[in-house]
Amino acid sequence: MDTTKKQQRRRRNRGMTLIEIMVVITILGLIAAAVGVAVIPQLNQARRDRAELDIKSIQNALKLYYTKKGNYPDTATGLRGLVEMQALESIPRDPWNNEYVYLNEGGKPVIISYGGDGTAGGEGQDADISSRDANPGSK
């Protein structure tokens, strides 16, 4: 009888079997996949929304610059002119850690984020976000 109790105690203290560990890992993987499917699209949309808000903020700083100087900075001066005039604290970077592109096209300033890929064009997360858009920030 003592031997039986010792064997039962050993089985209880033995820990988890390989199959039990694999089942737990599989369950954790399924949970992570479900969360990833739900969260990643929201993260991408949040980045695009932040870029649109940054562009609006830069446009407001450009209006202030125009009010004080009577014109917009040229393309060569770019956003650095807004920092020098203290309309912006620093030159902002887009949510993908790229610099915003500033162009002065015939007196009309344009601010562009090239999206996730950092190059002109693209689709989805890589699509450009521009102040040229008719309604930036609209869904």
Domain annotation covers residue 51: yes
Q: What is the CA 96 to chain-centroid distance, rounded? A: 6
User: By residue range, what is the domain housing residue 45?
Assistant: 40-117+126-130
CA distances from 29 to 17, 24, 26, 63, 122 (A): 19, 9, 5, 50, 31
The answer to whether the CB of 72 falls within 8 A of the CB of 80 is: no
Domain annotation covers residue 3: no
pTM listed for this prediction: 0.71
CATH number at residue 67: 3.30.700.10
pLDDT string in tens for the chain (139-residue length): 566 776 666 666 667 788 999 999 999 999 999 988 888 889 889 999 999 999 999 999 999 999 999 999 999 999 999 999 999 999 999 999 999 999 998 889 999 999 989 889 888 888 999 998 755 444 3
Instruction: Give CA–CA dist 101/94, Å, rounded.
Output: 10
